[in-house]
Structure 1
Amino acid sequence: MITRETIDDIKNRMDIVDVISDFITLKRSGQNYKALSPFNNEKTPSFYVVPAKGIFKDFSSGKGGDAITFVMEHEGMSYTEALRYLAKKYGIELKETVAAQEELEALSARDSLYIVMNFAKEHFKGLLKEHEEGKSIGLSYFHERGFNDRTIEKFELGYALNEWHNLEETALAKGYSAEVLEKSGLVIFKEDQKHYDRFRGRVIFPVHNLAGKIIAFGARILTKEKDQPKYINSPETEIYHKSNVLYGMYQAKNAIRKEDFCFLVEGYTDVISMHQAGIENAVASSGTALTEEQIKLIRRFTENITVLFDGDAAGIKAALRGIDLVLKGGLNVRVLLLPDGDDPDSFSKKRSSTELKTYFQENTKDFISFKIDLYAADASRDPIKKAEAIREIITSISVIPDPIKRSVYIQETSSLLKIQESVLLTELNKILIGERKKQQEKVKDEPEVAPDFSEEFQENTKLDTGGMVQMQERETIRLLLNYAESAVEEQKLIHYLLHEMDEVVFTNPVFGEIFQTFKTLSNEGKAVDEFYFLENGSTEVKKIVADLMTSRYHTSPHWSEKYHIFFPHEKEVIGDVAYSNVLRFKFRAVQKLMEDNLQKIKLATSDADLDKFLTIHEQLKNAEREIAETLGIVIAK
């Protein structure tokens, strides 16, 4: 268990902008920051960070909270694991107490996998540097590839002994369970009860997530055994989904953000060689076909990508397959083909860092020029092949989601190929219309989903007085979170609202929980603010608090500084705002009571009951009219 002292130290040291910038690229927006949502696929930024309050809010997914919450949500970590990550990031010494047995048993499966994968990484590193076999085979191989000790440490490379049970026996001796070893993919269990290490006699390439935690391994064999594949990789697990991961992204993310573009290569050694040569904004798809999830991962840090492939025929085909998917993901794509016979690993060893960067700058092409050059030789004397080449290019342009970019590429294609722009536009529109029809047919063929008539659905969608009451409940909580200590009528706003709404029963349970917490702690003489809820509240409470503490819109300073048009800040008129909120709350409450009373009138079974409910209705109507006059609201008589 991490001590309270350590937790407080972490919270005092962590900077939310610094923490979140390790995972996505933030852009300043006034005093705050914004970005595309890391939780949903979107075109317009709806993810906001408020440094002054130390909170984030993602309006597209509804997630929100502090830096710890973000790490938990983004990386799927437990609270304790998020604290460990932040402590490591800020160099804070972890002070822990002995956990109770039930707390140890409560470790989630994900936590167990992270722990055993980290153990395996340290085990493989130790074998590489300290074991005779590791040094003579594994370390010698890496040195022969030109990797220096600093690079080997940066990527935490290792070696697995050529033994069937080395890792398994070491792990079991240290208390790791066979079940966790199997779930992690480190040990293979057969139906005939046989079991053995997955990685044997191979150099090891650990795969990191964005937080730097080990989630998988790749391994290369160094001997020429016919029945053994050159590379083997960890299987899919609860913490590792290969379609969501890019090798080297953890080491490359800061350079990608700084350079504002990313090199995409093919394999582990390509990435490592590029980094050692000073090209640190390189990542790899690790031999798998590029996926939409991987493209979204790149887009968190940059919208510019250069696909770098071998110059042979296979490399060219791979480049063509990847380009359209990158374009569809909304990225700006360029292509760099290396000389025939070279790959990024071998090519980077032939030139200095400066020469390498110069070559890349001079030989990188946008995808239109690349495709035109690729088809030029075959199409120059064959009209049919030229027509096919044009369709290939237009097909690539059609997947670009931005219509302005599509238009620019059409103009460029028209100029380079000397084809009328109107002809190209006609072909582009055919493709777009065809795709739209396919989508419409797909929707038409999908089975209809029955309407959701659950109580929660009805409660969230109906536009009645009950919904209006909840809106006022929400506004009350917003005022308490933002201005609890502000002065209203010679007292603090928190005391004013708690007194005026002392007997109010909130219809929304989350708002009611927050209000009751304010009430309880205030009665005990304790101060309470948004940070109390971010630390102690439930997941729903944290979301609500982050939402109510974050605004997507702010008044531009130009209104006052440039145009001398002044708007009062809400804090300056908080007394009027609070008074109006209390009246509106009571107004909506009275309307809700009237609505309920009308139902009783309809269901009255005796004259006595009818007279009683009619009298109540008249009293409520008078109260509604009186509050409406004060608020300046016109109501039907």
Structure 2
Amino acid sequence: MRIPEETVERIRQSADIIEVINDFVSLKKRGSNYIACCPFHNEKTPSFNVNPVRQIYKCFGCGKAGDAVKFIMDIENIGYGDALRYLAKKYGVEIEEQEQTPEELLRQNERESLHIVLNFAKTYFQENLQNTDEGKSIGLSYFRERGFTNPTIDAFDLGYSLDLWDGLLQEATRRGHSRDLLEKAGLILTKENNKVFDRFRGRVMFPIHNVSGRVIAFGARILKADKTQPKYLNSPETPVYHKSQVLYGIFQAKQAIRQEDVCFLTEGYTDVISLHQAGIKNVVASSGTSLTTEQIRLIARFTPNVTILYDGDAAGIKAALRGLDMVLEEGLNLKLLLLPDGEDPDSYVHKVGADTFKEHIQKNSQDFIDFKAKRWLTEAGDDPMKRAEGISDVCASITRIPDHLKRQTLSQRVAQVFHVSEQSVISEINRLLRQQQDQKKKEFDRNDRQQQRQQTTAPQAPDAASLEDINALLNGLGIDAPPPDWEADTPHAVTSPAAPRPATTRTSLSYQEEECIRLLINYGARELEPGITLCQYMLDELHEIDFQTSPYNLILTLFREAYSRGDILTSADFLNRPPEDDDAIQQQAIHLTTPRYEISDGWEKHEIFVPSEEEISILADAAYRNILRIKKMLAEQRMASLQQQLHEAVNSPDDSDRLMLEFMQMKRVEMQISQLLGTVISG
């Protein structure tokens, strides 16, 4: 169902891109813009840029770009209409839509339908907990025993699944939800005899939310003693739920993580809920799985600082050590805290209270060097071989850190803790790094040989490697991937934005066409002299000239059509185009309006003044020289074509004379333009 245009406009005007993106990524102000590590690809150095004035974002690493609506579409992997509904709900914009029938629900795309049915299940479990005798006597009593208050129960949408074979199935069917969707969402199961029943029965329910707060799965705990049933049961993988990419409590914790600038990482659902209730809200847990790289990267969106809070028993230590190197490898700052033996965060915070728990964290959190060194030194005693093994183990963790300056600083710390020379520590780190590089090279060579064998045995036309493939290969080798325009020899000034590099080799003319469009989009309405706008000047000079690069010619045509109506298009006309109309035009506009670099404020303090492109004299000269370059290149193209025709018309004197005359005319034009540009002319 289409949302009225006036409502779309209200949503766009209400949405602030900084607020929207801050729900998913921690933005930091730099100059007039905001930056962050991109949420769409793995990177260590921030290349994700958000412009609050133009209300757009652009990643100079992977090329993702758009406005607030496009960001929600990309980050949530949803359609244009659903992204508008998300923003409308966030900003309280009412959308007048007819109530959907069960048939319309079935026609919706699968992902959105799954979200709808999962939200129904969440509400169903909540109502069971609060409004049924079984829910109150079993589920609610359990939560009360854990010390959970009503606000906490509501904050985490806790619920209860009745001990019935098909209670949820019957209610869902009555509400118009299909059995197929319920099964795809992991809510029901089908036996071999085609008997259908609820997956979660007689269990307290812990809904799992994504970053934006939508329910995507459930964790469930059985309360009765039944050895035939697992104590904990989680939703299976679905199109909307991938457990390796989700952290329990991230929706409830993200603002606190950003404010406190640290994330506490635990293992269990009740650990998160109890700490949250105690006022320690910047806490999450791995969701039914061991800690994964994707989960660490999710934390990195909000803070570079992680403190692991695990149980003090052998299993807790093992889990902490397993996650340690993974956190370091992603470039985060890591601390570890093991609670007293026999305690977990849930039990310990109830035992000592919130204030004592916070004090315990502050006093006993260790960096990974102290954490590992304490274990090794206790185990080694006076055994020098064990001490050497411990030093090597700590050095191996240091090699995981991508920042070489951090590695150097930490090598000094290792030397102090183990009472050895710093040089010996550095030598061991370098040895391990070389070993890792050799291993990566062997794996690369092995994969390369395997690929060559496959091509030899089954020859086929190779596909051109995409930029994503190249970036993935470079990242795998520990090399930062280049920006999308890494091969471009662009004639733009330093302040010019980077544009996406086409898959095919670009001509010199395409760069000048791009520059012309950049000037039109950014400055088309500016007057170069009284009564003469830049748009009027450039369109007059380009009369009857069409661009050869498709997207630039389309934008040029839009400028011409608008100008014929007495209008001059601005950047807003392109930036605010709905992606469903022409996503390529919006993307090009963002590329051409987003500068990668800004002049530092420090330059002005030292009285170093850089001329601005917005100054009329500089802007007029840029437009003038751009037009000259376009015409010069068109003349050169024509001369090249004439030379080819002359070669083919060697036996036709009349044609040769005509072609030679035109060639000389084009040559004179090219020479005149070269003189105006001040370029060197070859004889």
Q: TM-score, normalised by structure 1?
A: 0.94
Aligned partner letter, 1:577: A
Aligned partner letter, 1:79: Y
Cα distance in 2 between the residues matched to 1:512 and 1:524: 19
Post-superposition shift, 1:355? 1.8
- Native 8 Å contact 1:168 1:196 kept in 2: yes
Distance 1:420 1:625, change over 3 A: same
- Native 8 Å contact 2:306 2:335 kept in 1: yes
- Native 8 Å contact 1:85 1:211 kept in 2: no
Counterpart residue number, 1:549: 593
Counterpart residue number, 2:524: 484
Counterpart residue number, 1:615: 661
1:257 aligns with 2:258: yes
SS at match of 1:185: coil
Counterpart residue number, 1:400: 401
1:467 aligns with 2:500: no
Aligned partner letter, 1:584: R
Distance 1:145 1:600, change over 3 A: farther
Counterpart residue number, 1:581: 626
SS at match of 2:228: coil
Cα distance in 2 between the residues matched to 1:456 and 1:404: 33
Cα distance in 1 between the residues matched to 2:337 and 2:463: 55
Cα distance in 2 between the residues matched to 1:359 and 1:456: 50
Distance 1:285 1:603, change over 3 A: farther
Post-superposition shift, 1:539? 2.2
Provide, for residues 54-85 of structure 1, a one-character-per-residue CA deviation record: whole Å limited to 9, x for no partner. Answer: 11111111111111111111111211211121
Counterpart residue number, 1:493: 534
Distance 1:598 1:283, change over 3 A: farther
Aligned partner letter, 1:493: L
Distance 1:456 1:122, change over 3 A: closer
Distance 1:611 1:462, change over 3 A: farther
Provide, for residues 139-183 of structure 1, a one-character-per-residue CA deviation record: whole Å limited to 9, x for no partner. Answer: 111111111111111111111111121212222222222222222
1:282 aligns with 2:328: no
Cα distance in 1 between the residues matched to 2:5 and 2:211: 27
Point out the more displaced range, 505-514 or 428-437: 505-514
Distance 1:152 1:100, change over 3 A: closer
Distance 1:191 1:467, change over 3 A: farther
Cα distance in 1 between the residues matched to 2:602 and 2:385: 59
Aligned partner letter, 1:619: Q
Post-superposition shift, 1:513? 1.9
Counterpart residue number, 1:436: 437
Aligned partner letter, 1:112: S
Cα distance in 2 between the residues matched to 1:25 and 1:302: 7
Post-superposition shift, 1:563? 1.1
Counterpart residue number, 1:567: 611
Post-superposition shift, 1:460? 4.2
Post-superposition shift, 1:276? 0.6
Provide, for residues 491-546 of structure 1, a one-character-per-residue CA deviation record: whole Å limited to 9, x for no partner. Answer: 22222222222322222222222222222233234453333323234222222111
SS at match of 2:507: helix
Post-superposition shift, 1:380? 0.9
Distance 1:74 1:461, change over 3 A: closer
Post-superposition shift, 1:40? 1.4
Aligned partner letter, 1:555: I
Aligned partner letter, 2:290: A
Distance 1:341 1:277, change over 3 A: same
Counterpart residue number, 1:538: 582
Cα distance in 2 between the residues matched to 1:101 and 1:356: 50
Counterpart residue number, 2:171: 170
Post-superposition shift, 1:567? 1.9
Post-superposition shift, 1:456? 11
- Native 8 Å contact 1:14 1:90 kept in 2: yes
Provide, for residues 433-455 of structure 1, a one-character-per-residue CA deviation record: whole Å limited to 9, x for no partner. Answer: 11100111111112358896769
- Native 8 Å contact 1:481 1:530 kept in 2: yes
Cα distance in 2 between the residues matched to 1:428 and 1:231: 42
1:508 aligns with 2:508: no
1:598 aligns with 2:643: yes
Distance 1:601 1:47, change over 3 A: farther
Aligned partner letter, 2:563: S
Cα distance in 1 between the residues matched to 2:100 and 2:644: 56
Distance 1:151 1:417, change over 3 A: same
For structure 1, which runs of at least 5 residues remain unmatched after alignment?
A: none
Distance 1:94 1:580, change over 3 A: same
For structure 2, which runs of at least 5 residues remain unmatched after alignment?
A: 456-460, 468-486, 488-500
- Native 8 Å contact 1:248 1:284 kept in 2: yes
Aligned partner letter, 1:541: I
Cα distance in 1 between the residues matched to 2:208 and 2:651: 76
Point out the more displaced range, 445-454 or 359-368: 445-454
Post-superposition shift, 1:100? 11
Counterpart residue number, 2:673: 627
Point out the more displaced range, 81-90 or 26-35: 81-90
Post-superposition shift, 1:4? 2.6
Cα distance in 1 between the residues matched to 2:22 and 2:229: 41
Counterpart residue number, 2:129: 128
Counterpart residue number, 1:235: 236
Cα distance in 1 between the residues matched to 2:181 and 2:566: 49
Cα distance in 2 between the residues matched to 1:107 and 1:530: 34
Aligned partner letter, 2:184: K
Q: TM-score, normalised by structure 2?
A: 0.88
Give the alignment of 1:176-215 within 5 angstroms.
Answer: 176-215=177-216
SS at match of 1:339: coil
Cα distance in 2 between the residues matched to 1:462 and 1:121: 50
Provide, for residues 410-449 of structure 1, a one-character-per-residue CA deviation record: whole Å limited to 9, x for no partner. Answer: 2111111112222222222221111100111111112358
Post-superposition shift, 1:391? 2.0
Distance 1:103 1:585, change over 3 A: farther
Cα distance in 2 between the residues matched to 1:111 and 1:349: 39
- Native 8 Å contact 2:535 2:568 kept in 1: no
SS at match of 1:146: coil
Cα distance in 1 between the residues matched to 2:160 and 2:642: 77
Aligned partner letter, 1:557: D
Post-superposition shift, 1:564? 5.5
Counterpart residue number, 2:484: none
Post-superposition shift, 1:99? 8.2
SS at match of 2:420: coil
Provide, for residues 557-576 of structure 1, a one-character-per-residue CA deviation record: whole Å limited to 9, x for no partner. Answer: 34335416352442433222
Distance 1:221 1:611, change over 3 A: farther
Post-superposition shift, 1:104? 6.9
Distance 1:294 1:604, change over 3 A: farther
SS at match of 2:591: helix
Post-superposition shift, 1:138? 1.1
- Native 8 Å contact 1:62 1:543 kept in 2: no
- Calculate the aligned-residue CA RMSD, in Å: 2.5
SS at match of 1:538: helix
Counterpart residue number, 2:39: 38
Cα distance in 1 between the residues matched to 2:318 and 2:172: 43
Cα distance in 2 between the residues matched to 1:524 and 1:238: 48
Cα distance in 1 between the residues matched to 2:612 and 2:17: 29
SS at match of 1:57: strand
Cα distance in 2 between the residues matched to 1:560 and 1:307: 44
- Native 8 Å contact 2:528 2:616 kept in 1: no
Distance 1:614 1:443, change over 3 A: farther
